[in-house]
Amino acid sequence: MKKIITILGARPQFVKAAVLSRIISDKNEIEEVIIHTGQHYDSNMSEVFFEEMEIPKPKYNLNINGLSHGAMTGQMLEEIEKVLLKEKPNAVVIYGDTNSTIAGALAAKKLDIKVIHIEAGLRSYNMQMPEEINRILTDRISDLLLCPTDTAINNLQKEGFNNMNIKVVKCGDIMKDAVTFYGKTSSEKSSVIKDLKLEGKAFLLATIHRQENTDNLEKLKSIFEGLETISKEMQVILPLHPRTKQILEKHSLMYNIKIIDPVGYFDMLELLKHCKMVVTDSGGIQKEAFFNKKHCIIVREETEWIELVDNDFAKIVGSNKQKMIDAFHAFNNSESNFSVNLYGENVGNSIYTEIKNII
């Protein structure tokens, strides 16, 4: 039986990988071994997390976290190489743009093991983002690039991938499969709407965690001032990322919005289902908002998911307080047709087929 190793480091990657793992298990044609690098330490990543989400538990947990980008990537590269030499897989599967992604790609490529990159071809064209560097380098050394959108395909074509011995395929966005699958049961596994007394209430859901916002005090203040202004018209619910919390506390910044502790995946799905709209600097939540038929205000200067903006499901406002408020009013008074198919159907099956063909 052919073997693949899947390398994961952050909770969103586990959620997406669960889609493919279920298909692999059902087909029983490929053996999958999972490595968890430990990049994003998360108390929710316990056995209960894997059981509730029906995710195979990692065979290897490297527990590498809390380090600088260079130290983290270097240690991951070293430890992943040891596992690859022991397991001898036919291919390594990686997701997205984390340090775990590039470390896995480098370790595999140096051992002449095929590299399969899911969520390939995304670009922000902002080289100050560590994620952008990871994306570009990972795509260049992969053997199979599985792209979520036409935009991703076009990005790779502009970079000359047509002339490289790398297979490029548009498969759609695997996160859509995950939201569809878990969305069916999230209301049974989450009581967050009841706990926060949000039944029947209009509220805005916000998440702020990117370094470009948290590490720039002027930007962070502007974003939170915008949220505070919006909260005078509609309740704002903000699950607060530890990095953001630390900086707010360090500078004694307090705002009159509803701040809650970080939430699990099922809670987040329920908040997305019931909210009126979303303000975020997260790439994943931009799409999850769309999958839940919600408009999204993007507090960044760019987005990898430009089709959301082009189709007026999302607006980019950066850290500009007034642009955020204007976007809130525009979306609060508009309706959109969210039935347009931007991200494919049965994406997991398409990805499985491509993986099976290349190994």
DSSP result, 158-183: HTTGGGSS-EEEE---HHHHHHHHHH
Domain count, the chain: 2
**In the prediction, which pLDDT does 191 show?**
96
Residues 291, 148 share a domain: no
What's the mean per-residue pLDDT of the chain? 94
**In the prediction, which pLDDT does 44 show?**
60
The answer to whether residues 284 and 175 touch, using CB atoms and an 8 Å cutoff, is: yes
Q: Which is catalytic among the residues 36, 40, 117, 209?
A: 209
Pairing of strands 167-170, 144-147: parallel
**In the prediction, which pLDDT does 212 show?**
87
Residues 157, 18 share a domain: yes
- CATH number for position 219: 3.40.50.2000
Pairing of strands 277-280, 2-8: unpaired
Residues 227, 156 share a domain: no
pLDDT score of 311 more than 80: yes
Q: Mean pLDDT, to the nearest integer, of 172-193?
A: 95
Confirm whether 94 is domain-assigned: yes
* Tens digits of residue pLDDT in 340-355: 999 999 999 999 999 9
Residues 194, 157 share a domain: no
Which residue type is seen at 43?
Answer: S
Separation CA 118–CA 104 (nearest Å): 13
* Tens digits of residue pLDDT in 255-264: 989 999 989 8
- CA-nearest of 122, 149, 96, 119 to 344 is 149
* Tens digits of residue pLDDT in 193-227: 999 999 999 999 999 988 888 889 999 999 999 99
Counting DSSP H helices and E strands in the chain, the numbers are 17, 13
Residues 209, 70 share a domain: no
Q: Mean pLDDT, to the nearest integer, of 42-70?
A: 82
The answer to whether residues 328 and 204 touch, using CB atoms and an 8 Å cutoff, is: yes
Confirm whether 179 is domain-assigned: no
pLDDT score of 53 more than 90: no
Residues 305, 243 share a domain: yes
**In the prediction, which pLDDT does 52 show?**
79
- CA-nearest of 99, 160, 163 to 135 is 99
Q: Mean pLDDT, to the nearest integer, of 4-24?
A: 94
Beta strands in 24-166 (DSSP E): 30-36, 60-61, 91-95, 114-118, 144-147
**In the prediction, which pLDDT does 45 show?**
60
Q: Mean pLDDT, to the nearest integer, of 100-129?
A: 96
Distances in whole angstroms, Cα of residue 75 to Cα of each of 66, 96, 241, 325, 336: 12, 19, 25, 43, 46
More confident site: 248 or 158: 158
Separation CA 11–CA 170 (nearest Å): 24
Confirm whether 352 is domain-assigned: yes
**In the prediction, which pLDDT does 42 show?**
63
Residue 207 is part of which domain span?
188-332
Q: What percent of the chain has a predicted confidence (pLDDT) above 70?
A: 98
Confidence category of residue 46, pLDDT binned at 50, 70, 90: low
Beta strands in 88-181 (DSSP E): 91-95, 114-118, 144-147, 167-170
Tell me, yes or no, if 209 is annotated catalytic.
yes
Residues 276, 325 share a domain: yes
**In the prediction, which pLDDT does 245 show?**
87
